[in-house]
Every structure is written in C-alpha cells, then in structure tokens.
Structure 1
Amino acid sequence: MPDRFERIFAGENGLAAGSGPLYIRLRNRVERAISDGLLGDGDALPSERDIAELADVSRVTVRKAVQDLVRDGVLVQRHGSGTFVSKPVARVEQPLSRLTSFTEDMSRRGWNARSQWLQRGIFAPSPEEMVALGLAPGDEVVRIDRLRIADEMPLAIERASISTQMLPDPQKVDTSLYAALDVYGFRPVRALQRISATNLRAEDAGLLGLEAGDAGLRIERISYLESGRVVEFTRSLYRGDAYDFVAELTIGKN
C-alpha cells in the first residue's frame, strides 16, 4: 500500500490526536489530504478494511465517514470498483425563460460544444410522437438523438422528434437543430417544458460518464411556431450534478 495512505490515516498518532467523534476526525483527514494534494481527482481510496486497519478504527466508523463524504460529493462510490475522489464538475446555470439551443448556450459561456450521434434518420412515428406532434396516419418523423458534450464533458442526452414536413432531411442537422429548422423557416419561438427528477438507467448513465442509479434531470419539451403549430418534441436527460435550472418569478399585484 502506498506510503501516502499511511501518512493520511496512521500519521500524527492516528486519530487519537483531536477531539470529536472518530468518524468526523477520519472525514477531516480525507478532506485535508485532498486539500494538501495527497489525494487527487479520481484517485482510488483503499478498501474499507484497509482504512480501518491503518486508522485503528472500526469498519463502521470508516463506513460512516465515507458515506458522509459521498453524500457531500467529495467522494464517489462505483459498484464493483471502489471509492474514488470526485472530479469537480462545472455547473451550468440554465435559465428557463429563454428558448435557445444547446450549441447557443455553450457558445455564450465560451465552451466548445459538440455532439456524438446516437441516431439520425426518418422513421414511422410512435403513438407518443403522433400525439405530441399532431401527426396524421402515414406521416413520418425525423429522430435526432445526440449525446451533447461541452469542453469534452458529456452533459446531456437529447432525443428530438420533428415532422418530416418541417425537416425533410435529417442530414441537414449539423451542430444545431434550431439552425437547421431556421433554414426551412420552422424555427420555434416558444416552448413548454416539464422537468422531473430521475435515476439514470445503466445505458444512459454510461453515456454521461455516471453510474447506474445516479441522479439525473428528465426534461420533456414541446416547441411551437408563431402560429401555434408544434414543431419539436424532445425528451432529454441531463446530469443532475452539472445542471441548475433557474426561473425568475415575479409577484403579481392584488
């Protein structure tokens, strides 16, 4: 075992020096090791048993200290892999009052945005798509499914459905769906969004660089033209640790 772990957990007379509950002292040791550079982003910690032996405490004490640090985002536990120092995630504050594309949002922040294509083509619509887009029997939809990435960090999975009447060629979509719709004269001007919390499934979590069951935000958006006609039906999953959606509220006068 590396000497640094002995310095962290057994040095300075172990946890005997200090006051307060043992698990708090152990927690403080880990946090200090991170701030001093002994533990870096993504570093793996020893097993629960090894830490208990080094620090001369019970495994229950170790478990409580680790759970505290995981809850506060200092550590992350990966099933079957172990416990690691969390890599800090830059949070994105997304206002809910403005309808913009992911590409526009990231450009405004000075971040480099790109997409990884998951699906792009023309399909027969599902019952859900027919209802959301107001399609008739025989109509077709374009599906644009992408992993949205900013500064090489996967932030969201977007699954958009658009009538082929408004987007005849899905290959016209490059970085921005709204830019492609604008070319055809069908850029949306308003939208309704429904946001809910979710636990990510294994496949989606893997795309976002997270673990199955991690927290995510599910957003369903229906966008409209000036005429009131629906142009876009999008279901997205956002990283729960990276996005803050902000709404400005005003108080009405009596």
Structure 2
Amino acid sequence: MDGATDPGFFAPALWHRPGRGPRYQQLHDHIAAAIRDGRLADGAQLPPERELAELAQVSRVTVRRAITKLVAAGQVDQRRGAGSFVRRGSVKLEHTLSTLTSFTEYMRARGLTSTSQVLARGLFPPAPDETVALGLATSARVARIERLRSADGVPMALERSSLPADILPDPDLVDLSLYTVLRAAGTAPHRALQRISAVNLAAREAERMALPEGAAALLIERTGYLASGRPIEFTRGLYRPDIYDFVAELRLEDT
C-alpha cells in the first residue's frame, strides 16, 4: 500500500516529537522524507486538507503550512479542483546567462515540449518602464505580449514582452516563439542585458503558475538590442525557482 493511501502513515506517533519544532515543520519533514525515499510514489495524491488534518490530528492551518512548503520546494503539485500530488525526482533546468536563446529553443534543446498560452497582446501606449527601457517617446506605441510559458505541461514562467510598434507591428504574428518572428523580419536582438532579483508571487501570478500565493520566484528583466545599439525588446519574466536555475560563467580578469 502506498503511504498516501495508508491512513496510519500520517498518525502523529510516526512524525511528531515534542520539543523538536513546530508541528507543521515536523509534518512537512515527514512527508518530504517519504517522497525522497519512495514511500510516497510519484504522482500519488495526498488526502484532502480536511482529511489529512484529521489523520495527523492537527489543525487545517498546520496542514496548509506544511503542504505550502512542499509545493514551494517542488515536491508537491497543487492542481486547482483536483488536489495535491507528489512530484518526486524533479530535475532543475539550468539556463546559461551567456547565450541569448528563446524559451522555445531552450526547451526543445532539452527534449521538452514547450507551449505558450497568450494572456494578452496588442498595441498600447507605453508604460513608464517600457518608455525607459526602449527609449520611446510617450506618444509612441508598443507591441505587448503576455504569455504563460510551460514545458511538458508544467507552468514555468510568466513573461511580458514589449517591443516598439515598428519592430513588431502585428503582435498576432507571435504564437509560440517571439524570436522566430523577429529573425524572419531581420530584427532579432543581437545582445541583451538581464537583471535578476528574487520576488514573492502575488495571488494572480501564483495561481497561473500553480504555486501558493507568496511563493518565491525569480524576476528577470531583459533588454535586447540590435547590432546598432537600439533597444528593441523589453521582457519581464517570472520564473519558478524550484525547477529553473540560471547559471553564469565568471572569469578572473588579468590585472
């Protein structure tokens, strides 16, 4: 019998030790250890929150805190309307910062099938950050595309890409890969600058990325330039840190 379907698996006698930390942390550690050693099988569904609270003899708040931490660590997936499922043995993807590659190309090179859900697109007056990044006049128009990027069905990133209207006059041309469209037009960026920071997801962002509200994410702001030096792409992306690593190679300069 799999641990997730064995009511005795969550009994307090198996995981709770007085004086050894908060109950939610001990419950988390118990479930996390079972995922790592295979007692909880990949894809197994955990009991619903109310049932798990009864089995573990704790409050639903305690259960929620334990599960939220497992989700943030990438060991459990929460699917709206379906429940919580074990995700064992997930592998982080490493993305080098030294090469300018589209999301679609990057996933294809790793044998993954990428999909993009367009959340919004069109031509708009530029927002202040777009005006600064792209060097636009306030009277200009920008092509803006907001997409949920997934690989093999797993949400990985939320991206908002903005380009001057003369570079992308028809945002509807972009389906899966923005860079494919730009290369065809001879306007793909030649180089880019990226800024990376850590943020916590707001409720709407977290829901779209199948993560709990307040979960940590990587915020990447990228400005792409033509060979002439003109900025033509400003992308703001939120990436899941539990399955996405950014890697940079550093070299010691001669002095």
Matched, 1:50 2:49: no
Q: List aligned pairs for 1:9-48, cutoff 5 A.
A: 9=10, 15=14, 30=31, 31-32=33-34, 35-37=38-40, 41-44=44-47, 46-48=51-53
Aligned-partner SS, 2:212: coil
What is the distance in 1 between the residues matched to 2:233 and 2:46? 43
**Per the alignment, do residues 191 and 4 of structure 1 end up closer, same or farther by CA in structure 2, a change over 3 Å counting?**
same
**Per the alignment, do residues 67 and 116 of structure 1 end up closer, same or farther by CA in structure 2, a change over 3 Å counting?**
closer
In structure 1, stretches of 5+ residues that fail to align are 53-58
Q: What's the TM-score once normalised by structure 1's chain length? A: 0.78
Question: 1:136 offset after TM fit, Å?
Answer: 2.2
Question: 1:4 offset after TM fit, Å?
Answer: 1.5
Question: 1:125 offset after TM fit, Å?
Answer: 1.2
Question: 1:10 offset after TM fit, Å?
Answer: 5.5
Question: 1:248 offset after TM fit, Å?
Answer: 0.7
Aligned-partner SS, 2:197: strand
Identical aligned pairs, as a percentage? Answer: 41
Question: 1:155 offset after TM fit, Å?
Answer: 0.4
**Per the alignment, do residues 75 and 99 of structure 1 end up closer, same or farther by CA in structure 2, a change over 3 Å counting?**
closer
**Per the alignment, do residues 112 and 84 of structure 1 end up closer, same or farther by CA in structure 2, a change over 3 Å counting?**
closer
What is the distance in 1 between the residues matched to 2:141 and 2:28? 57
Counterpart of 1:50 in structure 2: which amino acid?
L
Q: Which has the larger radius of gyration?
A: 1
Q: List aligned pairs for 1:172-183, cutoff 5 A.
A: 172-183=173-184
Aligned-partner SS, 1:251: coil
What is the distance in 1 between the residues matched to 2:157 and 2:68? 26
Residues 222 and 233, structure 1, Cα contact 8 Å, conserved in 2: yes
What is the distance in 1 between the residues matched to 2:68 and 2:169? 51
Q: List aligned pairs for 1:195-214, cutoff 5 A.
A: 195-214=196-215
Aligned-partner SS, 1:204: helix
What is the distance in 1 between the residues matched to 2:148 and 2:121? 12
Q: What's the TM-score once normalised by structure 2's chain length? A: 0.78
Counterpart of 2:7 in structure 1: which amino acid?
F
- Tell me the equivalent position of 1:4: 6
